[in-house]
Structure 1
Amino acid sequence: MLLRVIGALALLAVVVAVVDALSHGAFLTAGNLTNVLRQITYNAILGIGQTFVIITAGIDLSVGSLIELTGVVMATFANNVPFHGPLLLGVTLLVGLAVGCFAGFVNAVPVVRLNLPPFITTLAMMLMARGLAFKLAHGQPVTLTDSTAFDATGTGFLFAPLLRPLGFPGIPVPVLWMIVLVVVFAVVLTRTRFGRYVFAIGGNEEAARLAGINVARVKTLVYVISGGCAAVAGLLLMARFGSGSPNTGIGSELQSIAAVVVGGTSLMGGRGSVVATFFGALLIGLLNNVMNLLNIESYTQDIVLGAVILVAVVVDELRKRYLRT
């Protein structure tokens, strides 16, 4: 095991050195690495909720649209209430969470009550949420009339005085949100009864039901968690850009699924990790960043991302076949 870890680290070091050389030293700069961390934040947060859903052998295609819907709703709300400062931030987040969690609940009801495929129900929610976001925003971003309450959350840095002498601008505040959520939900998944139920349902739903687990309740909660994570990502993006846009989350659902799959969570359910999803998001973020530095066209980047997802799924299937023999 130790030799495998050392080998993987050595290979990573070689790849990083080659990429940095090809990018003429632009890859390993403090500013670029900080930017990578900021960019993966939203995908990693979406991936947290997606991990819970996929472990139960489900999937959530609506998270990208929920980023847009919650962002538009939160921006509209913030522009029409008399609150200011941290109170405005907190209440706006609660409104976004209410919308995101309710959408997650709506996703879950047909799945647990009518036994409909999650792919269909969340695809329907994706279309409805995106359409509603465009309708509420009249097709245009809803700009915050007073963004001061959100500036620190979206664009602020922590520990800047300590890190600036080292060339780093600081730790972006959204990265702290990501770290906290990864830690909290990693504990929930691995150290609580609810987490054990999630794995049990993904491993064998009928056996979990016979063991007395309330399958409907657990599956509903995982979709609610996914919707809530989309709302948090929506808040951070709204705070960063100073507006809630009905275009913000296009493609985010596929990016989040890619992070989960690359992190090693099985699409068949029963196995996965929030921490591994974070590293999956980091790997995809680094890959996208490298391709941008090398001036690779966006459509070629899509081909590469699709290939990475396919390889991850094939490796997972081969691993399962090996374990069965």
Structure 2
Amino acid sequence: MTARTRIAAVAVALSLGVGVSACSTTTADDGPLVVVTTNILGDVVERVVGDQARVVTLMPPGADPHSFEISPKEAALILDADVVVSNGLGLEEGLERHVDAARADGVPVVAAGELVEPLEYTAGDAAGTLDPHFWTDPQRMVDVVDGLEREFAVAIDGIDADELAQTSAAYRSELLELDAEMTSAFAAVPAERRALVTNHHVFGYLADRFDFRVIGAVIPSGTTLAAPSASDLDDLTTAIEEAGVATIFADSSQPDRLVQVLADEADIDVDVVALFTESLSAPGEGAETYLEMMRSNQRLISTGLSP
């Protein structure tokens, strides 16, 4: 079996996701209920709202947001929420109908993607559509915090606006510190080596913020539910060879078999490094919070692309 045949043979395997259903509850034991779809946004919401609301995050650690699904009990929880926070740009493909049902039932829905200036995909099957992976840019997450503070002050009955302002300001400062750290660290990566290849298109915002080039993705789409064709992989192999890519980055929620085969096919010294890009990790795995995830990814990207 040739390398390109092996790539085609495992292409579908990488594109398949396994639905996982589990939710976590943090902060206040009672009071207003805020239901959040993804665990990255769940962590941010917890920091913004502090102890003034009960935050339930539907997506478990390590799950793929494109494919995870929820139970009927969790779907009912969305309808009972005082506020629902979602990505809003089509990320949670298995949850859109539940969020839409809550909105139709009168539940306030805050779409985080509507709080930032979104980018469009520029390549692949999703070209021209909005990219939902805005959290890879810490500056845009500052915009998310600003918007959440504003929306919660209106949507959550009885919330203390002064306390909300304090918790939001404290977290905003941490995000700005993160952005400064990443700017400094990435500045040390030579410009000619700032070339990103991932399992699917996830780093458009990071590339825009920190001056990277996105060479391509194994799955040329904004979702892991798509599948690459043999010609897609052929084109990507050529681009990797021409750009002299040193490392390919695979999301930890997806198997890396296809990425590894592609690395072998490129016939150059290419490493495959797993990042937490779309989901936080379980406790103790190094990406338990948004801030931890971003710092971990920054270190891995910097190391993977440096001479």
* TM above 0.5: no
**TM-score, structure 2 normalization:** 0.27
TM-score by length of 1: 0.26
Of Structure 1 and Structure 2, the greater strand share is in 2
